Amino acid sequence: MKQPIFLKPLFQERIWGGSKLKKSYGYQIPSLKTGECWAISAHPNGQSVVASGCLAEKSLGELWEEQPELFGHFDSDRFPLLTKILDANDDLSVQVHPNDEYANEIENGELGKTECWYIIDCDDDADMIFGHHAKSKEEFIQSIEEGNWDDLLQRVKIKPGDFFYVPSGTIHALCKGTLVLETQQSSDTTYRVYDYNRLGQDGKLRELHLDKAIEVTTVPHTASKVEPAVAQTAGGSITTFVEEDYFTVYKWEVKNSLSLTQEAHFTLASVISGEGKIISEGRGFSIKRGDHFILPNQMQSFTIEGSVELIASHPNNKGARHHELESTARQMANI
């Protein structure tokens, strides 16, 4: 398999969702409240399916189990990452995610959720909630109990092209008018802290998860500074945004032609603008805005031609091993 594995996106309706996934990418969304495109996923709550070729209609989970050679026999008990595009037509709830250890114990073996965001587009003067001002857990709890959200929550201005790394334990919320590509651990565990007293589709206040959120939130907040490293070539550029335990994330910006070598076990890629083609061993495969694909392990070198921007990522061994070692330690402690 020395060609891209193209995947069909699937969609999740959300109370805060909108229609930008249709307007921006031409996706056939289920409603005008579509908040999430699960672009590359093997999570049980939404699995990607191969769009074409000899593997057509296979789920990503099936490929992971049946053909591990496609992924370089990556050392993990599950497909480790999940790529999404989020349309925040309204404010998301203020939320926090657990780490691996907590999620594995409390959420029946689920992974924790460290994630990152690339701001594809946003309204003028847009912002988001990223962190909090509490200096101690006691101060954090008191602010929640008193509903002192304006003083507790930290807001930061955003603009298209910004990138944020969001480790587990970070209080955060995307805000109205934001279109984001998210790279995250393959997890669907979220603890809601505050939801603006918003009513759900059933007419009732949406559930909060304050006890769990207080347990997992990092206090005081520690901002994770992102320092992108840019490598320029005649045909484009490669920006490395983050290289952490669970993933490395890049932007490939192609002006005419960019030749790349894959050093990871496999790579996830999403086309965020433009169009072109990816060439592997003399064969060309068309790519355009809104396409998502995996570059399998056997596809070691390739060239991208055209005028096109992609966000690419790959899992890192440390994250997979970290989860495995935590699980083993808990099993031994229970003997």
For the range 104-109, what are the long-range contacts, defined as Cβ-Cβ under 8 Å and sequence gap of 24 or more?
104/323, 104/326, 104/327, 104/330, 105/330, 106/212, 107/189
Are 103 and 111 within 8 A, CB to CB? yes
Cβ-Cβ contacts under 8 Å for 101 (sequence gap 6 or more): 112, 326, 330
φ and ψ of 188, to 5 deg: -130, 35
Selected catalytic residue, list 192, 198, 283, 330: 192
* Cα separation, 42 vs 23, whole angstroms: 26
Active site residue 206: no
* Cα separation, 120 vs 176, whole angstroms: 14
Cβ-Cβ contacts under 8 Å for 140 (sequence gap 6 or more): 132, 134, 152, 214, 217, 219
Relative to beta strand 163-166, strand 191-194 is unpaired
Residues annotated as catalytic are 192
